[in-house]
Structure 1
């Protein structure tokens, strides 16, 4: 919800629509400082809301919100398979 409110959802989940992808690329190219700051905000929210043991597993230098989100999702996806067995 916070990512939508602050209009940073595209930093976490890349859109699949080509037109939206082009808009995001243009925005990123027009103001890279703003893009990086908003990406850091989204990344900070993720870091602040995960458990400490998960945080130590996902911290990466010069990370992006999208990459971090993918690592978190993969951790839970892997856990889902092991619980099913």
Structure 2
């Protein structure tokens, strides 16, 4: 990438204009939020910062590594800006990457789906009319 071109991701001033919802710990909107985020990342050519893509070669030169780091920080900032304060405190780690934060969120919302389904089924079965 030459210095005279601005990467599309660097033109985003406010992620909330593209993703109008804030992901919160106690809601069930993770799938919708994640899909909106992926569409936004794809349209700004940074989807590979949250979802591995074997077609995208890892940065090899110092200049490419610098650009990668800057873009990753921008995507990480998007994630942090689009989630609640409670979730932010749960996933934030020093020197994290966008992909690591994305995986932590996915783990929070999707790893417990089976146990959550069993618990909801139990609650439903024990509901008295």
| TM-score band w.r.t. shorter chain | 0.7 to 0.9
Counterpart-to-counterpart distance in 1, 2:115 and 2:72: 32
Asked if 1:49 is matched to 2:82, the reply is yes
Q: Which residue number corresponds to residue 84 of structure 1? A: 117
1:29 to 38, 47, 60: 60
- The superposition leaves residues 9-60 of structure 1 with CA deviations (integer Å, 9 ceiling, x where unpaired) of 0010002x4xx1xx421xx113111000000011011000011111100000
**Moved segments of 4+, more than 6 Å:** none
If each structure's helix is expressed as a fraction of its own residues, which one has the higher value?
A: 1
Point out where structure 2 has 5 or more consecutive residues left out of the alignment.
1-38, 119-129
Counterpart-to-counterpart distance in 1, 2:98 and 2:117: 29
Counterpart-to-counterpart distance in 1, 2:113 and 2:87: 15
| TM-score normalized by the length of structure 2 | 0.56
Point out where structure 1 has 5 or more consecutive residues left out of the alignment.
none
Which residues of 2 match residues 70-81 of structure 1 at below 5 A?
70-81=103-114
How far is 1:82 from its partner? 3.4
Decide which structure has the larger Cα Rg and report it: 2
| TM-score normalized by the length of structure 1 | 0.82
Counterpart-to-counterpart distance in 2, 1:68 and 1:9: 14
Q: What is the aligned-residue RMSD (CA, Å)?
A: 1.3
Q: Which residue number corresponds to residue 59 of structure 1? A: 92
